[in-house]
Structure formats: structure tokens, C-alpha cells
Amino acid sequence: MGWFWGNSNNDDPVKKLDPGLREYLENEAPREYIPTSVPSSQPSSSASSKPADTQAHPSQQPGQPENSSVPPASLFPDGRYAHLWKTYKPPKDDAAELKGAERVIEKYKQRTDTVQRAAMENCALEHEALTLCFQTGNWQKQLKSRATMCSEENGKFSRCFTTQTKFLQALGYAAALEWDEEREERVQMHADKLYHEMLDYETQVEEARAAGVEPPPLTSLFNPQAKLQPAGKAETTPGDLEIPGGESIPAGFKPSKPLEQLTPHERELEIRAHNTSLEARKVYAQEASPFLKTHDDARQKRQEKAVSWFGETIGRWVT
């Protein structure tokens, strides 16, 4: 009956526990809550004991000291699971570790989409004209537009998108491993400028032929200081094709269309885009060569092991 008048140490069930279990329960028990502000009605003795409790649990304060054993990313200021939080890394740290071949491969995959987005931005007016062709006008005009599929507007937009993509590739847009916003914007604007210069020259040639006068001299879009060529005079190239700027056809060059079907500026553009793509691939290959070597060595070891197990024919096919 001692519990009617107070706790009895002899009847305390905690004393009957195993010492190891009792120590574990004491360590895992929640820490005592310490309020950040003391009410005015609290006795002065409680207020005087607060600094001592605060020093006993420094990890519970908002500003942790430098020598605190609690990791900064921990969600438990009292120090629980500190050994687990020590190895935690935020997602941004994982992205920062994306180096070497992984970064090059990711950049190579994204370059095509990046170039095409920039080409769409440069062809925004042509795309708007194509969209309005289907949506504006009376019912007769809309019927005619659907019957012809807006061939004129569609042709202008298709040529703009294809040619702008080539210009961006030829000027090295998004070819660098490190993205420079200011540089890429200048390249995008320069590509749009060269495209409209090409269209202006074609318009001048058509007007000159209609007037029966000699067309303006053909100059290179990428190297205007190169030797001028009179229209109709060709450089010494296979098939006597006219290519401004003295560009030579590289070995193994495969244009998107036969060169005879392209204008002189389009031929120059195709060659420039081809050469720039080769240079970009060399940079990517040089950056990713350590990874490729490691990958090839690992594949060679797997192949040797498979050949020793299943024979040369099956082993090489499996690996």
C-alpha cells in the first residue's frame, strides 16, 4: 500500500530490468522539452536553472556550435541517428558530381534538342504565318488553305527551320561543354542574320534576272573578305559546282540533298555544318575517352570469360 503515500523504491519495476535493457531505454527515451521563452509567472529558480539545461543540450538551440556532433542536414537536433545523417548528400551534390564521360554523353544527347529549339525561335514569324493560314480568313479561304495545306507558308517555314538548324550547327551553337548564355545568344542571333542575308541575295538575283542585268557578285556568308566570284563562275570543284568562299568538299561528305539541287550558299552551309560537327565530335570523344577505355576493357574481360565458358562463337555473341 505504499503507492498511496508515494513511490516506493522497493516496488519500482525499472530496477528489475536487465541493466543493458534499462540503459537502452534511457538512451532512446525522448529528451526533456525545454521552452524557448520562460513565462513571467515562472519562479526565478526555474529561470536560473535554464542556462544550465541549455548548456547540457546545446544541440537543441537554433544556432548550433561549430563543434556540435549533429550533422547540419539532420532532422533530429537532439543527436539521434547522427551516424546516418553524416553520409547524407543533398540531390544538388549528386548533380555536381556528374563529370567526365557522363557529362559529355548528356551534353551530346541534349545538343540536338537545344539547336532545334533555337531554330524554332528564329523561325517564329514563319511559324506564326503558317498557323494563321489555317485559322484566319473566310470559309472559302480556309477551305483553299486546307486543300493546299498552305503549301507556300509551309514551304517557307520548313526551309527556315532546316536552314536555321544548319546555320546554328555551322556556327557551333551549344557545342561547348560549358553553357555560356551570352555567347549562345550571340550565336543564335548571328545565325538568324546570316539566314536573312542569304534570302536577300536570292531575292537580288531573281530581280536581276527578271530585269536582264548581271546578278550581284557571290560572296561567302561566313567569310565575306574572301575573293569575290562573279555569278555564274564556279570554283574548281567536282562537277563544276559553285561554292563561295573557296570551300572544298571534304572526303566522305554526305549532304542532306545532292549538291546540284542546292544553292551556292546552301552548299557552303552544308560543308561548314559538316566540318563543325566533326570538330565537336572530336572534343566529345577526347573528353569521354577515359570512360570509353574503361568500358572497352571491362567488355574485353567479360568476353574472355564468356569464351572460356561457352566457346568463341557463343561467347562473342553473348557479350
CB atoms within 10 A of CB 236: 8
* CB contact set of 233 (below 8 Å; sequence gap of 6+): 242
Asked if 184 and 174 count as a contact pair (C-beta separation under 8 A), the reply is yes
Task: Give the three-class secondary structure for 171.
Answer: coil
| Helix H or strand E segment including 239 | none
Residue 169 and residue 273 in contact, taking contact as beta carbons nearer than 8 Å: yes
Which sign does the torsion angle of CA 11, 15, 16, 21 carry? positive
Question: What Cα–Cα distance (Å) separates residue 77 from each residue in 38, 80, 216?
Answer: 21, 8, 78
Q: Give the per-residue pLDDT at 27.
A: 77
What is the C-alpha separation between 273 and 47, in angstroms, rounded?
A: 78
Task: Note the pLDDT of residue 240.
Answer: 67
> φ and ψ at 229, to 5 degrees?
-120, 125
The pLDDT of residue 270: 94
d(C-alpha 202, C-alpha 154), whole Å? 19
Predicted pLDDT of residue 290? 67
The pLDDT, as a whole number, for residue 35 is 61
pLDDT at 68: 59
User: In Å, how far are 166, 182, 191, 203 from 162, measured between CA atoms?
Assistant: 6, 24, 12, 19
Q: What is the pLDDT of residue 100?
A: 58
Q: Which residues of 120-131 are buried (b: 16+ CB within 10 A; e: fewer)?
A: bebbeebbebbe
Q: List average pLDDT for each run of 10 residues in the chain, which is 319 residues long.
A: 51 71 75 58 46 44 54 79 77 51 74 93 94 80 79 92 96 87 95 96 94 91 72 47 82 86 92 90 74 70 77 69
Tell me if the pTM is above 0.85: no
Sign (positive or negative) of CA dihedral 281, 282, 287, 293: positive
Residue type, 113: D
* Dist CA 126 CA 131 (whole Å): 9
Domain boundaries, the chain: 99-295
SS3 279: helix
